[in-house]
């Protein structure tokens, strides 16, 4: 009888741990209010060529590969940056990439907009799936925009 209780207790703990992982993922999703406060764009008081060069330098500094770039249209697409995580006994992966848009506002000012995409792969599945950003990624755009500013 004691063995059956211990066995039931172990299964209950395992189920709670597994649910805890899922609950943790749910609670890590930012609220609409938090998302509304994300800085996605910034105008720099510099000409287009200077901001383009600072943007390319910022990507290179962080080791982010460029998948495509078109200076005439102001479009830059990065390659995926992969981050692996361990949740319990499972290995998951998350990855992100960005589309960066540069737009000349005047001869002396340039608008930069960063549009990130996030994907997740759970428990070594073959396919990546789109996912919402986590709270720890709320400042991705701001940090990148700050880095461009520092490279001007």
Query: Residue 125 pLDDT more than 70?
Result: no
Give DSSP secondary structure letters for 73-141. Answer: TTEEEEPPEEEEEEETTEEEEEEEEEEEEEEEEETTEEEEEEEEEEEEE-TT-SS-EE-PPPGGGTTHH
Q: Would you say residue 9 has pLDDT above 60?
A: no
Residue boundaries of the structural domains of the chain: 1-30, 31-151
According to DSSP, the residues that pair with 91 across neighbouring strands are 86
Fold for the domain defined by 31-151? Alpha-D-Glucose-1,6-Bisphosphate; Chain A, domain 4 (3.30.530)
Which percentage of the chain shows pLDDT scores above 90? 45
Which of the given ranges, 45-59, 82-96, 130-144, has the highest pLDDT on average? 45-59
- As given in the structure block, the two tokens for residue 128 are 């990546």
Q: pLDDT digit string (tens) for 84-113?
A: 766 565 667 788 899 999 999 999 999 999
């Amino acid at each position: 009888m004691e063995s059956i209780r211990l066995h039931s207790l172990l299964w209950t703990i395992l189920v709670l741990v597994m649910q805890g992982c899922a609950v943790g993922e749910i609670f890590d999703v930012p609220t609409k209010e938090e998302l509304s406060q994300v800085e996605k764009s910034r105008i720099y008081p510099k000409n287009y060529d200077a901001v383009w060069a600072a943007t390319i330098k910022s990507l290179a500094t962080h080791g982010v590969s460029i998948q495509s770039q078109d200076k005439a249209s102001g479009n830059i697409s990065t390659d995926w940056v992969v981050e692996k995580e361990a949740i319990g006994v499972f290995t998951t992966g998350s990855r992100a990439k960005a589309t960066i848009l540069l737009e000349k506002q005047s001869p002396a000012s340039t608008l930069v907009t960063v549009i990130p995409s996030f994907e997740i792969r759970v428990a070594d599945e073959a396919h990546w799936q789109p996912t919402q950003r986590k709270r720890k990624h709320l400042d991705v755009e701001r940090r990148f925009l700050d880095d461009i500013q520092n490279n001007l």
